[in-house]
Amino acid sequence: MAATIYELPTAIVPIYVTPNANEPITLYQGPLTYRQRVDQQDWSESGEGRIVLNWLPRPNITCYVEIATAPPAHAGGAFSCGVRIGGMDQKRRPRFSCAPLIIAAAIVLLLVLYVLSYGPCAWLLAHGRLPESLESIASWIYAPLGVLSRTLPPFRSFMEWYLAFFVKLKR
């Protein structure tokens, strides 16, 4: 008996739960240390903080730290800072993909080789180098070229010119 969708187990259990879609996700909350280089000297202060993953407007990770004293470069007492971690929030230049161009070139190349392979095949047929069992297969494979020759006079002229290199055509 088939199970309904409600009877199946949850595939992925979320680690972080948010009340709404695209809400910031708190990855860590607790003691953090803020470090800064001021006037060629390292300065650090510990305090309560959190690390948040933001989705909008672009994905980024932000660290917030509340410390009791400000770094020497800032005057005043309590200090709160938010630092974005680079990389995720930088705009990426759209990449140009060569795949469609390569696929199109491959298709064109295969079509040209298909048309050009008719000459050697006609030579093999004219000189009896192909078994009779392959003659019917060859006529089936190259049938689209016959249709094109009947419907497009310029293509017919090209094929007659090209086949003249391989076999004598009856006019």
- Tell me what percent of the chain is helix, strand and coil, each rounded to the nearest 5: 35, 25, 40
Output the tens digit of pLDDT for each of the chain's 171 residues: 566 767 766 667 777 777 787 888 888 888 888 777 767 777 777 888 888 888 887 777 887 777 766 666 555 455 555 555 555 445 566 667 888 899 999 999 999 999 999 999 999 988 888 888 888 899 899 999 999 999 999 999 999 999 999 987 655
Global pTM? 0.45
Within 10 angstroms of residue 126's Cβ, the number of other Cβ atoms is 13
| Three-state SS at 142 | coil
